[in-house]
Structure formats: structure tokens, C-alpha cells
């Protein structure tokens, strides 16, 4: 039996709306597809920022086939990874603003691989390692001066908080290699998100391999681990299918044979990272129409899911417009799909094609498994978070809701 036999509308009637439904069988399928598209031996790091739901994350490491590792950038994501069964050796800790407190917690729980965004970040990582009496592996994140493909979100080629400028590595190599508590294990390059097509993805990743080979020369030491980033694509809040990459394996193999001829023997180990591709098509957001109104000739369909539920990434151009599905097919009309919040910014689609809807109707937003609740304005206006249901093999795996509780710290007179 497939989890597709569980109708989101039935779950909405039972648990209310707004409601996320995550199909963990689709998560496992995405994992199989991604590993199948890559050369043999590649590692895959799952970016927890896409969706840290524990049952979804657990599906990426359990079961048959290669398991994903974890790419995290906070102690909250660290806690989710540990709850899902990951251990420190499975985890890559990233991010430009790591604090001493979180670094010491990460090292203390067994994390031994970090991405360093700068020489000063590398030194902070080293200080935390020394405090625990250990040495950790570090990947130098590189901000390449050049790129191959265009994309909606570029991560290199400009002044940024991310990565060490590639043109400075040769001059700082000695300092980078001598930070106490650290061992420079390799490089981390992440140049794009959501590549427009396979050609763009291949162009960027092969360019990344070329850049990595040049940086290896600048450092003067062999790389043990090379993370070439991602860019694997899936529609976001739109109808459509996850991208397939039939040419990727052979193209990456050819590039690696040229620039890292010993890669097939494991020098260096190779890795990619992905969030949206692994989680995106697993999720459906179910919402209910609460009102329909006309304002100066324009129709507005108001639903109970807004940018507090789904849409925190809209400022990055990743949301508008959404597409919706209803059980009853029929004519469509132009209308704006908006949420319930008291702000004109609560818009999920402006004058888009929608079915003719009425109060009480349920709508489903597809491909909503990535960048959902935890990347939205959950606390804005104090509305409750959506229910999240994980389903798999025709059964409900879990039902949960994120709760925000204010805690007060008692302060005695005279305390500072």
C-alpha cells in the first residue's frame, strides 16, 4: 500500500488546517534518485535548513541504500540530527556566524567536521576543539571569483559573508594550515541553488571541481574531502516533477578524472549537499478558504495559511506565485491568494489562475516539503503553527506541531 492512499483532505478534516503532509516514501525515492545520478562513492549531505522534521530526516538515513549525512548550522539542527539517529561523525557543521557556545556544544557532542568561512572562523573552531582536547577536520569554504552558470541565488563571485575569497588562499595558506585544534581536510564550495536545468548544474559543478584543483595547488596539501555543493532542482510550491540528471554522473567522472585522477581510490572523498531536492516533493500544504471578497474589481481568496505558515522565503523570490489543486476540477479565474495576517505582504499569489473557490473549500499547495514552517514567520501575530503529519507505507507515522513558549528567567535583587 502506498502512502498516496492517505488523502490529505481526510487528514485535514481530522486534524484541522493549515496542515502539512510529508510523504516519507517520496523522501526515500528522492534519496535513491540523487545517489543514482552521482558517481559511485559520492557522499550526500542533507541540508537541514530545508526541513528539519525528524521523521523526514530519519528517512534519509534509514533503510536500504546509501544513507545521507547531515549538514547543519545551529545547535537546534544539531539536536534534530541527534534525535533522528545521526552521530557526530555523520555531521558537517557550517555557517558564517558560529559562536563559541555552539561550537563547544557541537564538539562536545562528537561533531568532528566543520566548514570554515574565514581564517577567524577557523580559529574559533580551533579554540573550541582545543577546549575539548581534540583536533577537528575543517573544510575551507571557498568564495570563488568566477562562476559558470546563472541561477536565482548565487553564493559566490561577490563580497559576501560566505567563504574565503579564492584569490587570497595562496597568500594565507600558511596561516590556514597552522591553526591549533584544526586539520584542514579539504574544501567546501557551494555556488548556486536550484539550477535552471541539467546543463547549468553540470557547468557549475564541473567548474567547481576545476576551482578546487587550483585551490589545492595554492594550499600545497592534498585534499581528503571535497564538498562541491549542490543546486539540484525541484519545483517550489508549483506543480511539476523533481528534476532528473541522466548525464550528471558521466560528466562529473570526466571532470574528476582530469583534475583529481586518484578520486576513484578515495583521494579525495567527494560529496554534494542538497536540501530542497531531497525534501521538496514530499510535502503538501493543505489550507482552507476562510473568505472570498471583491475589492475594486479584483477578487481575493483568503486562506488560513499565510507567510507565517509558508512563505518566509518569498523575499528571496522563491515563492510567488504558488499553484493550488482542489478535488473538484472546473473553470478557473484570476484572483489573489492571500493569507489571514494583518499585513498587505501576506500574499501567496497575486492575480493568479485559481479554481473558483468558496469559504470552506480545501486547497492543496504541492511541492511544499522544503522551506515550509521553519523558514516562515511562525511567531508573527501569534497564530498557532501548522500541524505537520508524516505518512509512509499507507500509514500515519507521526502528528506534531511546533510550539512557542516564552520562558521567564527569575532575577534576584542585585543580580546583573
pLDDT, one tens digit per residue, over 260-275 is: 999 999 999 999 999 9
Q: Which three cell numbers stand for residue 347?
A: 500574499
pLDDT of residue 138: 98
For β-strands 298-303 and 332-338, DSSP reports them as: parallel
**pLDDT value at 153 more than 70:** no
| pTM score of the predicted model | 0.92
Residue of 13 and 39 predicted with greater confidence: 39
Cα–Cα nearest to 63, from 103, 28, 15? 28
pLDDT of residue 11: 95
pLDDT of residue 224: 98
CB 54 within 8 A of CB 388: no
For β-strands 43-47 and 269-274, DSSP reports them as: parallel
pLDDT, one tens digit per residue, over 161-220 is: 777 888 889 999 999 999 999 999 999 998 778 888 999 999 999 999 999 999 999 999
pLDDT of residue 9: 85
Backbone angles phi, psi at 173, to 5 degrees: -55, -45
pLDDT, one tens digit per residue, over 93-151 is: 999 999 999 999 999 999 999 999 999 999 999 999 999 999 999 999 998 876 654 44
Domains of the chain: 24-279 (3.20.20.10), 281-401 (2.40.37.10)
The H-or-E segment that residue 115 falls in is strand 113-116
pLDDT of residue 274: 97
CB 211 within 8 A of CB 223: no
What single DSSP character describes residue 60?
T
How much is the average pLDDT of 377-393? 94
Report the mean per-residue pLDDT for the chain: 91
Cα–Cα nearest to 211, from 273, 277, 271, 166? 166
For the residues of 329-353, what is the DSSP string, one character each? ---EEEEEEE-SSSSTT-EEEEEEE
How far is residue 187's CA from residue 229's CA, in Å, rounded to a whole number? 10
CB atoms within 10 A of CB 178: 10
CB 152 within 8 A of CB 318: yes
The residues with which 399 forms a beta bridge, in sequence order, are 389
CB 25 within 8 A of CB 3: yes
CB atoms within 10 A of CB 193: 20
**pLDDT value at 355 more than 70:** yes
pLDDT of residue 156: 52
How far is residue 410's CA from residue 416's CA, in Å, rounded to a whole number? 12
Q: How many residues does the chain have?
A: 416
Confidence band, pLDDT 50/70/90 cuts, at residue 6: confident
Q: Which three cell numbers stand for residue 132?
A: 575539548
CB 305 within 8 A of CB 290: no
Cα–Cα nearest to 361, from 330, 400, 321? 330
Residue with cell 557522499: 43
CB atoms within 10 A of CB 127: 17
Q: Which three cell numbers stand for residue 36?
A: 543514482
Residue with cell 585534499: 223
pLDDT of residue 152: 44
What single DSSP character describes residue 325?
B
pLDDT of residue 131: 98
pLDDT of residue 95: 94
How far is residue 292's CA from residue 300's CA, in Å, rounded to a whole number? 6
Amino acid at each position: 500500500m502506498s502512502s498516496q492512499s492517505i488523502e490529505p483532505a481526510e487528514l485535514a478534516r481530522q486534524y484541522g488546517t493549515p496542515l502539512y503532509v510529508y510523504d516519507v516514501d517520496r523522501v526515500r525515492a528522492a534519496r535513491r534518485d540523487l545517489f543514482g545520478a552521482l558517481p559511485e562513492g559520492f557522499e550526500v549531505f542533507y541540508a537541514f535548513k530545508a526541513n528539519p522534521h525528524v521523521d523526514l530526516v530519519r528517512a534519509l538515513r534509514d533503510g536500504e541504500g546509501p544513507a545521507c549525512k547531515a549538514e547543519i548550522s545551529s545547535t537546534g539542527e544539531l539536536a534534530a540530527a541527534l534525535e533522528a539517529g545521526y552521530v557526530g561523525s555523520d555531521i558537517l557543521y557550517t555557517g558564517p556566524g558560529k559562536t563559541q557556545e555552539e561550537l563547544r556544544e557541537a564538539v562536545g557532542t562528537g561533531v568532528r567536521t566543520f566548514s570554515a568561512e574565514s581564517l577567524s572562523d577557523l580559529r574559533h573552531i580551533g579554540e573550541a576543539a582545543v577546549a575539548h582536547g581534540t583536533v577537528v577536520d575543517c573544510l575551507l569554504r571557498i568564495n570563488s571569483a568566477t562562476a559558470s552558470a546563472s541561477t536565482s541565488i548565487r553564493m559566490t563571485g561577490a563580497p559576501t559573508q560566505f567563504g574565503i575569497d579564492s584569490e587570497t588562499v595562496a597568500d594565507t595558506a600558511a596561516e590556514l594550515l597552522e591553526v591549533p585544534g584544526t586539520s584542514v581536510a579539504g574544501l567546501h564550495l557551494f555556488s548556486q541553488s536550484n539550477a535552471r536545468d541539467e546543463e547549468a548544474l553540470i557547468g557549475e559543478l564541473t567548474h567547481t571541481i576545476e576551482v578546487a584543483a587550483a585551490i589545492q595547488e595554492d594550499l600545497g596539501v592534498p585534499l581528503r574531502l571535497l564538498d562541491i555543493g549542490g543546486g539540484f532542482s525541484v519545483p517550489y510550491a508549483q506543480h511539476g516533477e523533481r528534476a532528473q540528471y541522466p548525464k550528471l554522473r558521466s560528466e562529473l567522472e570526466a571532470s574528476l578524472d582530469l583534475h583529481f585522477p586518484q578520486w576513484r581510490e578515495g583521494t579525495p572523498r567527494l560529496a554534494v549537499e542538497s536540501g530542497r531536492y531531497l525534501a521538496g516533493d514530499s510535502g503538501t500544504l493543505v489550507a482552507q478558504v476562510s473568505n472570498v471578497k471583491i475589492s475594486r474589481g479584483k477578487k481575493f481568496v483568503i486562506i488560513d495559511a499565510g507567510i507565517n505558515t509558508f512563505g518566509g522565503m518569498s523575499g528571496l523570490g522563491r515563492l510567488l506565485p504558488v499553484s493550488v489543486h482542489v478535488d473538484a476540477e472546473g473553470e478557473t479565474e484570476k484572483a489573489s491568494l492571500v493569507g489571514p495576517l494583518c499585513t498587505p505582504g501576506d500574499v501567496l499569489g497575486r492575480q493568479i489562475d485559481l479554481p473558483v473557490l468558496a469559504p470552506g473549500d480545501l486547497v492543496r499547495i504541492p511541492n511544499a516539503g522544503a522551506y515550509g514552517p521553519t523558514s516562515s514567520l511562525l511567531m508573527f501575530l501569534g497564530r498557532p503553527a501548522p500541524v505537520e503529519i508524516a505518512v509512509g507505507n499507507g500509514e500515519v507515522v507521526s502528528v506534531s506541531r511546533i510550539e512557542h513558549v516564552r520562558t521567564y528567567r527569575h532575577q534576584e535583587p542585585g543580580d546583573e
